[in-house]
């Protein structure tokens, strides 16, 4: 009878070990799932930021093209683009102000030239 009771206790301990292992496995799995979800969210956020940056660069390129074309962007539009660029700190402030100054001088020169024609 002694052998039977020790066997019984052995089987209960092994079943609780199995439960513990199952629990640990589940915790590990949950942790993996959670970290994967976090990773995915991070990747999505990075992708969005990269997309935003690309859009701003494209807008800046378009603005630059317009400024060289005859249709010069209005001052408010120029300021809006500068603000967007400055917010993204793609270009430093001095560089932006230099660009704007050049743009305005170019506009004034064009306007003067047109006035002289009339």
| pLDDT reading at 111 higher than 60 | yes
Cβ partners under 8 Å of residue 93, min gap 6:
86
- pTM more than 0.85: no
- Three-class secondary structure assignment of 40-60: HHHHHHHHHHHHHHHHHHHHH
Q: Which of 23-32, 47-56, 85-94 has the lowest average pLDDT?
A: 85-94
Percent of the chain with pLDDT over 90: 0
Percent of the chain with pLDDT over 70: 71
Question: How many beta carbons lie within 10 A of that of residue 91, not counting itself?
Answer: 15
Alpha helices, H only, 1-118:
2-68, 75-87, 93-117
| pLDDT reading at 48 higher than 70 | yes
Boundaries of every domain in the chain = 2-117
End-to-end CA distance of the chain: 121
Q: What's the average model confidence in pLDDT over 95-110?
A: 81
- Coil, strand or helix at 3: helix
* Average pLDDT of the chain to the nearest whole number: 75
Q: What's the average model confidence in pLDDT over 83-102?
A: 72
Q: What's the average model confidence in pLDDT over 106-116?
A: 81
In the prediction, which pLDDT does 72 show?
Answer: 54
**Joined tokens for residue 110:** 């064009």
pLDDT, tens only, 1-21: 555 555 555 555 567 888 888
What CA–CA distance (Å, rounded) separates 88 from 100? 17
Residue 109 or 69, more confident: 109
**Joined tokens for residue 52:** 């935003």
Which whole-number Å values give the CA distances from 104 to 57, 74, 84, in the listed order?
A: 21, 10, 19
């Amino acid at each position: 009878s002694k052998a039977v009771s020790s066997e019984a206790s052995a089987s209960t301990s092994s079943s609780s070990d199995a439960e513990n292992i199952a629990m640990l496995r589940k915790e590990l799995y949950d942790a993996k799932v959670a970290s994967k979800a976090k990773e995915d969210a991070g990747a999505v956020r990075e992708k969005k930021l990269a997309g935003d940056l690309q859009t701003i660069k494209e807008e800046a390129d378009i603005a630059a093209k317009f400024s060289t074309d005859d249709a010069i962007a209005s001052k408010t539009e120029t300021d809006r683009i500068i603000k967007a660029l400055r917010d993204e700190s793609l270009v430093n402030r001095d560089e932006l102000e230099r660009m704007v100054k050049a743009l305005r001088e170019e506009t004034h020169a064009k306007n003067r030239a047109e006035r002289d024609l009339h």
